Amino acid sequence: MSVPAVCSFFSRARERLPAASRLFALGAVLSGCVGAPSGITPVHPFDAKRYLGTWYTVMRLDHRFDRDLTHVTATYGAMDDGRVSVVNRGYDPKARQWRRIEGAARFLEGPDTASLAVTFFWPITGGYHVVYVDEAYSTAIVTGPTRDYLWFLARTPQIPEDTLMGLVDIARANGFAVEGLTRVQQDQPPPA
């Protein structure tokens, strides 16, 4: 079975595994799940410096780790060693609290190709691939190691509907299951 196939299988099966097995399998499998999905070409040339800063998640394919979170942001910063700091943040309305996770990403082919390996919990590493970014670096489409992962990011919490539908069209053309996309609530800020 190819690495993308194993990553996809584990992505679907992870919630059915016992916790101890899940941790072992996750470490074994995801440390090899950093490549882009078959047929996906990460953005090149890519201006890593222009990509840094805060992005709002406006639409996504849900996963256990981000399901039901609102007001989701990802903030990227330059690190002295050439890696990129990653801070993901979202509000959990059921728990009435903010969730936050920090990690670091390294470029797989150099900073001019939008393909990175992100680590939140060592030694587990996952792929982060920018499939599309507009000329102004104001909207982007990101995937993981399989097409089961998809995020639409923007520099503002809201984007025009025609811009959003344009992102959906790009994702569809790249073989993503866009019918599973959910909008992320970014209006009416939650309690601080």
Tens-digit pLDDT profile for residues 175-190:
999 999 999 999 987 7
Q: Where are the alpha helices (DSSP H) in the chain?
A: 3-13, 19-30, 48-51, 161-173
Q: How many domains is the chain partitioned into structurally?
A: 1
105 falls within a domain:
yes
Residue 21 has pLDDT above 60, yes or no: no
Packed helices 19-30 and 3-13: angle between N→C axes, nearest 10 degrees: 160
Q: Which one has a higher pLDDT value, 16 or 114? A: 114
Q: Please give the average per-residue pLDDT across 139-164, as a whole number.
A: 97
Q: Are 155 and 53 in contact (CB under 8 A)?
A: yes
- pLDDT reported for residue 189: 76
| Mean pLDDT lowest among 11-15, 33-37, 146-150 | 11-15
CATH of the domain at 105: 2.40.128.20
Q: Tell me if 158 is assigned to some domain.
A: yes
Whether residue 67 is contained in a domain is answered as yes
CA distance 28 to 36: 18
Q: In this predicted model, which residue has the larger pLDDT, 145 or 9?
A: 145
Mean pLDDT of 62-72: 91
**Within 10 Å of residue 16's Cβ, how many Cβ atoms?**
8
Can you tell me the mean pLDDT for 40-58? 98
Domain that residue 113 falls in: 36-183
